């Protein structure tokens, strides 16, 4: 049986945001960047910006380990065994990791203990099981020759993760890269630097050769840029905003062409067709779709597109579900509405709402901070209507608990509204018509389309990623592993 989820005192934790190089924690770097708990704004530590010097040290350690450890050439089952031990260690320390994640991020303890740590360990196990299923191919040739296409690792992979799901983001990038035989240098967000280094320690404890998994702490403009620009980095994987993704592309091009996987922003629609008979499950999905992690999710269902005849009823149901959410610290089990990651993020959302209203939008509910809180950035679930396509609220992610409502009369009009001119990360469709459930997803421009659901479903085999300004490449699934492999053609003439 799973132990019951209980609240805890975050002050019992003493996290350290060190670097992790060659299998050991390492202090040092430039300046001192304060790290605050999102739930109450308390400064819990400081990290030092790695900068070019420590990034070069970490990349050098990864390069040397890739060349000398024998990891890439080891028998696939030997690599798999290490990954399985890593997953087991993560599972064995579920409570420790869950508390560390909750105390230092926006993830409530009920979610980290009940889902996040288990899904992180499950993802490691999925890629462990995939190691001996990496296959090449033989191309048809004349009798006097053979042509083989052989997959191989890139070498040193740079991974830069977002702050919204620190643990899961770190595992989604490091586990497939290591399974494919690469070495990894990971830079977590400076807002949430702690669980990445803990899982790196556990990987080495599981038997991963030292130097294959390194962590550097720091700011994106300095440490992140130095990592992307490093000439020995052969592949880059990034999760974050579209603007930062564009800057990473520019940095990568400045030092030569490098392949990238970019999982970027979204303005995901939740499209409700007129044929839906029961709005109760739809309302629950819509509410969860824009309120999970306080809307700080790349695939958040932030645009509700609903037939005019049912809009009032559905919005009323969603409002009631949103009002039932309890804002509170992430270390309390009662919390069902997370804090925003920082005061800066709350101020950004306030500015965006004000500008969107100035452009003609109306506030149906919410629109301001949760009252009665003097610490932590808690924001009311907010529903907007009449959001103009020229407004910032349409063009950019709120990345907070904000839902924009649009109504339609014609189904073709609804599909056109669902297809955002910039973003195409995810979409959901609600319908009782089986034919439409099969046909309409083909017309929705999104990397993932859920039908009668919203949000990533349990499991690890289905890939995730976007189109257009939402990025390219895929994480998780077979495609997530293949993204860390390059293919070499070997031609043998023997006639």
Place of tokens 């739809």: 282
Please return the burial class of 186, using the count of CB atoms within 10 Å of its CB with bins 0-12, 13-18 and 19+.
buried
Of the options 3.90.550.10, 3.40.50.2300, 3.40.605.10, 3.40.980.10, the CATH number for the domain spanning 10-264+470-491: 3.40.605.10
- In percent, the amount of the chain with pLDDT more than 90 equals 95
pLDDT tens track for 380-405: 999 999 999 999 999 999 999 999 99
Report whether 269 contacts 427 (CB < 8 A): yes
Q: How confident is the model at residue 256 (pLDDT cuts 50, 70, 90)?
A: confident
pLDDT tens track for 121-175: 999 999 999 999 999 999 999 999 999 999 999 999 999 999 999 999 999 999 9
- Is the model's pLDDT at 21 over the cut of 50? yes
Give mean pLDDT, residues 202-230.
Answer: 97
Q: Comparing 234-238, 256-260, 346-350, 433-437, which segment has the lowest mean pLDDT?
A: 256-260
Give mean pLDDT, residues 450-472.
Answer: 95
- What backbone torsions phi and psi does residue 157 show, to the nearest 5 degrees? -110, 130
Single out the residue of 158, 258, 267, 264 nearest to residue 214, CA to CA. Answer: 158
Q: How confident is the model at residue 15 (pLDDT cuts 50, 70, 90)?
A: very high
Whole-angstrom distance, CA of residue 111 vs CA of residue 251: 36
pLDDT at 431: 98
Highest mean pLDDT range out of 3-7, 98-102, 251-255? 98-102
Give mean pLDDT, residues 178-189.
Answer: 98
Average pLDDT along the chain? 96
Give mean pLDDT, residues 13-17.
Answer: 95
pLDDT tens track for 81-94: 999 999 999 999 99
Q: How confident is the model at residue 3 (pLDDT cuts 50, 70, 90)?
A: low
- Is the model's pLDDT at 257 over the cut of 90? no
Give mean pLDDT, residues 333-338.
Answer: 96
Report whether 103 contacts 330 (CB < 8 A): yes
User: Domain map of the chain by residue range?
Assistant: 10-264+470-491, 269-459
Q: Please, what is the angle between helix 94-104 and helix 194-205, to 10°? A: 160
pLDDT at 1: 38
pLDDT tens track for 51-64: 999 999 999 999 99
Q: How confident is the model at residue 255 (pLDDT cuts 50, 70, 90)?
A: confident
pLDDT at 375: 75
pLDDT at 343: 94
Q: Say which of 57, 101, 263, 475 is annotated catalytic.
A: 263
Give mean pLDDT, residues 61-87.
Answer: 98
Give mean pLDDT, residues 348-360.
Answer: 98
Of the options 3.40.309.10, 3.40.190.10, 3.30.300.250, 3.40.50.300, the CATH number for the domain spanning 269-459: 3.40.309.10
- Asked about 263 being catalytic, the answer comes back as yes
Compute how many other C-beta atoms are within 10 angstroms of the C-beta atom of residue 78: 13
pLDDT at 58: 98
């Amino acid at each position: 049986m799973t132990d019951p989820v209980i609240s805890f005192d975050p002050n019992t934790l003493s996290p350290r945001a060190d670097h992790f190089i060659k299998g050991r924690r390492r202090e040092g770097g430039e300046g001192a960047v304060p790290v605050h708990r999102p739930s109450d704004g308390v400064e819990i530590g400081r990290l030092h910006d790695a900068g070019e010097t420590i990034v070069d040290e970490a990349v050098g350690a990864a390069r040397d380990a890739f060349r000398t450890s024998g990891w890439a050439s080891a028998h696939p089952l030997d690599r798999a065994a290490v990954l399985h031990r890593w997953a087991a260690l993560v599972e064995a320390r579920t409570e420790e990791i869950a508390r560390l994640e909750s105390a230092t991020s926006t993830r409530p303890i009920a979610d980290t203990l009940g889902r996040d740590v288990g899904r992180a360990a499950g993802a490691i196990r999925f890629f462990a099981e995939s190691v001996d299923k990496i296959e090449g191919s033989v191309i048809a040739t004349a009798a006097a020759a053979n042509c083989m296409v052989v997959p191989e690792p890139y070498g040193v992979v740079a991974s830069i993760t977002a702050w919204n799901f620190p643990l899961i983001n770190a595992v989604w990038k490091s586990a497939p890269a290591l399974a494919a035989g690469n070495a990894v240098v990971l830079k977590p967000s400076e807002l949430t630097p702690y669980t990445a280094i803990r899982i790196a320690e556990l990987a080495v404890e599981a038997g991963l050769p030292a130097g294959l998994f390194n962590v550097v702490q720091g700011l994106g403009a300095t440490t992140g840029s130095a990592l992307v620009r490093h000439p020995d980095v052969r592949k880059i994987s990034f999760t974050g905003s579209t603007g930062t993704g564009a800057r990473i592309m520019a940095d990568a091009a400045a030092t030569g062409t490098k392949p990238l996987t970019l999982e970027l922003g979204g303005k995901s629609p939740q499209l409700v067709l007129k044929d839906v008979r029961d709005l109760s499950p739809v309302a629950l999905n819509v509410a969860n779709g824009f309120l999970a992690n306080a809307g700080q999710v790349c695939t958040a269902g932030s645009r509700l597109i609903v037939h005019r005849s049912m809009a009032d009823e559905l919005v009323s149901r969603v409002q009631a579900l949103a009002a039932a959410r309890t804002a509170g610290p992430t270390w309390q089990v009662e919390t069902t509405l997370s804090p925003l990651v920082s005061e800066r993020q709350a101020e950004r959302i306030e500015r965006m709402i004000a500008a969107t209203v100035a452009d003609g939008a109306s506030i149906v509910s919410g629109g301001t901070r949760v009252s009665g809180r003097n610490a932590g950035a808690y924001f009311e679930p907010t529903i907007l209507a009449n959001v103009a396509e020229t407004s910032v609220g349409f063009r950019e992610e709120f990345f907070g608990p904000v839902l924009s409502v649009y109504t339609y009369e014609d189904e073709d009009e609804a599909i056109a509204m669902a297809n955002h001119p910039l973003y195409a990360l995810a979409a959901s469709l609600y319908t009782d018509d089986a034919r439409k459930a099969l046909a309409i997803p083909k017309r929705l421009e999104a990397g993932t389309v859920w039908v009668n659901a919203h949000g990533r479903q349990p499991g690890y085999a289905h890939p995730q990623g976007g189109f257009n300004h939402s990025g390219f490449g895929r994480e998780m699934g077979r495609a997530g592993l293949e993204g860390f492999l390059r293919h070499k053609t070997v031609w043998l003439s023997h006639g």
